[in-house]
Amino acid sequence: MSPDARLRATFDVAAETYQDARPDYPRELYADLLMITGLRPPARLLEVGCGPGKATVPLARMGFPVTAVELGPALAREARRRLAGYAGVSVVTSAFEEWEPAAADRFDLVYAATAWKWVDSAVKYDKAARLLVPGGHLAVWNADHALPVGFDPFFAEIQKVYEEIGEGHPGPWPPPEDEADPTAAEFAASGRFTVVAARRYLWALRYTADAYLALLDTFSGHIAMEPDKREHLYREVRRLLAARPDGRLTRHWSAALTVGRRS
């Protein structure tokens, strides 16, 4: 099992806190997704790696039938609980690579929110294409830490702590803000999808120390971190924020949406 495969299973321990700790995806993203694909209920959607339903609930609320596949049993249970009131929504506990629908089942949209990178690259594009109707779409988006000009200096300060404990950011820091998202190139290289749109969304949220540490507890690297390293890091987060008048930090988020049509 690869290191990434081991890390992708860590999220299950955060099943009860993930939904509240992680940010909601921008409303504009969903509006753009529907405009680009032209989808309306009752189009059938397949979600890869739904977690506790972060990106499932907004689409289910719009009336879409959704089949959501989730690797983690605790996350799948939490998703079922949150989605119990939506007709036509089902949650399957399985790795996407291993799951197969009923023979005749095909979908109008396959999508993944902050999950696509964890799926086996040798499988995911071919399988997504096979499960789509002719002309169906694949949509992938994420929620990453952004460091635009003028970002909160807290992150430069805490980066020194990450480096001290041997958990520093690989490559240059801060990462180049104009670094291209590789997903569109992956779509094209797969030979299975034609990219029809790529969008980027940027927003900022304020966090107390408790809220920020709850967020860190949903990240695979922090979940898997050695306990003594994590404890030291979290103490430093609290120390740095306690020195601020309001005890809060500003974290910028970036979401890159890529939409492809089945070739």
Read off the pLDDT of residues 186-207 as tens digits, 9 standing for 90 and up.
999 999 999 999 999 999 999 9
Summarize pLDDT for 115-137 with one digit per residue, the tens: 999 999 999 999 999 999 999 99
Mean pLDDT calculated for residue range 233-252: 98
Topology adopted by domain 3-262: Rossmann fold (3.40.50)
Mean pLDDT calculated for residue range 10-32: 97
- Cβ-based neighbours of 7, under 8 Å, separated by 6 or more: 118, 220, 221, 224
Q: What is the pTM of this model?
A: 0.95
Tell whether the model's pLDDT for residue 3 goes beyond 60.
no
Question: Considering the chain, what is the average pLDDT of its residues?
Answer: 95
Mean pLDDT calculated for residue range 90-119: 95
What is the percentage of the chain residues whose pLDDT exceeds 90?
90
What is the percentage of the chain residues whose pLDDT exceeds 70?
97
What is the spatial distance between Cα 234 and Cα 221, in angstroms, rounded to a whole number? Answer: 14
- Cβ-based neighbours of 52, under 8 Å, separated by 6 or more: 15, 18, 19, 75, 78, 79, 82
Q: What pLDDT is attached to residue 178?
A: 64
Summarize pLDDT for 48-77 with one digit per residue, the tens: 999 999 999 999 999 999 999 999 999 999
Mean pLDDT calculated for residue range 169-182: 78
What is the spatial distance between Cα 7 and Cα 219, in angstroms, rounded to a whole number? Answer: 9
| Cis upstream peptide for 175 (omega within 30°) | no
What is the spatial distance between Cα 50 and Cα 204, in angstroms, rounded to a whole number? Answer: 23
DSSP, collapsed to helix, strand or coil, labels residue 132 as: strand
Q: What pLDDT is attached to residue 152?
A: 98
Summarize pLDDT for 149-173 with one digit per residue, the tens: 999 999 999 999 999 999 998 878 7
Nearest to 111 by CA among 137, 81, 130, 93: 137
Mean pLDDT calculated for residue range 10-19: 95
